[in-house]
Amino acid sequence: MRFPIIAGNWKMNTTVAEAIELTGQVRKGISNGFSVEVVVCPPFISLAAVKEALKGTSIKLGAQNLYHEEKGAYTGEVSPLMIADLCEVVIVGHSERRQYFGETGEIVNRKISAALKAGLKPILCVGEQLEDNEAGQTAEVVTEQLRSSLEGISVSSDLVVAYEPIWAIGTGRAAHGKPVNETSAIIRRTLTELSNQEIAQGIRILYGGSVTAENIAEFLEQSEIDGALVGGASLKADQFISMVEQAEYIYFPNNPPTKDLIPW
């Protein structure tokens, strides 16, 4: 069985003080007895402080990006080794990185490779533009993104893929469960071709794009979707906690979460 992941991408939001505050609110609602893997991805500058604020919980820490070189004269960049010192997870190839910072498939490929080498679990983001979606090109676009991002890389089930249609990100216009499930099945088929059936069956595929506590169940109930990458709604602790709880109930119906809240 694939353990579901609910990951919060805080993007370029929260000062250090706000990140600590949000972490405190989130940890109050998430029991250590939960089986869902919970990840928060604050800005780089808050990673150390949030790591401290997460102590004693099973909530994992993730970064939102990385540079592919281990160290050197790359002013302003953050290396895989620095991230691996603090985090278990790193988001790679988010559409905002591709769109605003010119990240190509080749760059994403180097980053995935560097992340895996450093022992990080990369969340590789793929997704199509609205025009591609309307032209029925979703499968082609997503397959090509996977191929270029993973070319030459020995894919393992440490990889997580987030399918995030660009038109659904931050727009309040989420996709729907069934088409996302179909695209996730195509993603898994491509991953099988790039590795083998056993590895591909173990890779978690998340949906991202305007996920909220109100609509998350529609995605989590699908057989090929193994969780969510949540942007805006992860900045509201009550929403984020509710999404984790819903995942716990949907994936582990016979083992309802015990409400032993972590004291803060």
* Active site members: 94, 164
Closest chain position to ligand PGA (CB)? 231
User: CB-wise, 5 or 169, nearer to ligand PGA?
Assistant: 169
User: CB-wise, 81 or 235, nearer to ligand PGA?
Assistant: 235
Closest distance to ligand PGA from the beta carbon of 259 (Å) = 27
Closest distance to ligand PGA from the beta carbon of 138 (Å) = 17
Closest CA to 178 of 221, 141, 128: 221
- Length of the chain equals 264
Closest distance to ligand PGA from the beta carbon of 9 (Å) = 4
Q: Which 8-state DSSP code applies to residue 263?
A: P
What residues line the site for ligand PGA (CB under 6 A)?
A: 9, 164, 169-170, 208-211, 229-233
Distance, CA of 113 to CA of 90 (rounded, Å): 12
Distance, CA of 261 to CA of 258 (rounded, Å): 9
Closest CA to 40 of 75, 91, 115: 91
- Sign, CA dihedral 90-251-168-215, equals negative
User: CB-wise, 107 or 229, nearer to ligand PGA?
Assistant: 229
Residue appearing with tokens 């706000």:
18
User: What would the two tokens of residue 80 be?
Assistant: 């895989």
User: CB-wise, 195 or 203, nearer to ligand PGA?
Assistant: 203
CB atoms within 10 A of CB 188: 17
User: According to DSSP H, which parts of the chain are helical?
Assistant: 16-29, 47-53, 80-86, 95-100, 105-117, 130-134, 138-150, 177-194, 197-202, 216-220, 237-251
Question: Taking a C-beta distance cutoff of 8 angstroms, is the pair 106, 96 a contact?
Answer: no
User: CB-wise, 240 or 251, nearer to ligand PGA?
Assistant: 240
Closest distance to ligand PGA from the beta carbon of 35 (Å) = 23
Closest distance to ligand PGA from the beta carbon of 40 (Å) = 13
